[in-house]
Amino acid sequence: GFDADGNFLQSGGRAAGRSSQRFGKEQAFGIVLNLDAGSKNANTISLYRDGKRAGEPQKLPEALLGKALFPTITYRNLTVRVSFGPGARSKLPFVCRTLAEAAAADVELAP
């Protein structure tokens, strides 16, 4: 995931260097998970701010490839509004599905 300073976080801690822009007030953020094997950015996660890329795509850790991933937001001292669809809060420069629009074969529902 990403922290408020724009660092990409993974199980071992922060990745080297800042990977995106710092978060601010009244901004719409989108997280794009790209699992399309035919894409040049396959197996990456990207952060978008107000419909524009906020940093370079970050490679998913090898340990997470092929596993079920669960959207999680961790925060403190701020207010968060969440939307899983049916559409993105800010128009993206490409077409992609939201979690609400995901094909049944692409999601794993919790009991």
- Residue range 31-81, pLDDT digits in tens: 888 888 899 999 998 888 888 888 888 888 888 888 888 777 766 677 777
Quote the tokens at residue 94.
């490409």
Cα separation, 71 vs 85, in Å, equals 13
Q: How far apart are CA 34 and CA 45, in angstroms?
A: 6
pLDDT of residue 2: 67
pLDDT-derived band of residue 19, with 50, 70 and 90 as boundaries?
A: low
Q: Pick the most confident of 38-47, 49-58, 89-98, 101-110.
A: 38-47
Quote the CA–CA distance of 43 and 33 in Å, as a whole number: 7
**What distances in angstroms separate CA 42 from CA 20, 71, 74, 79, one per listed residue?**
19, 18, 25, 32
Q: For residue 65, what is the DSSP state? A: T
Which of 100, 19, 11, 9 shows the shortest CA–CA distance to 53? 19
| Whole-number percent of the chain with pLDDT over 90 | 5
What's the pTM?
0.69
Decide which of 15 and 73 is more confident.
73
Q: Which range has the worst mean pLDDT, 18-22, 47-51, 56-60, 97-101?
A: 18-22
pLDDT at 42: 93
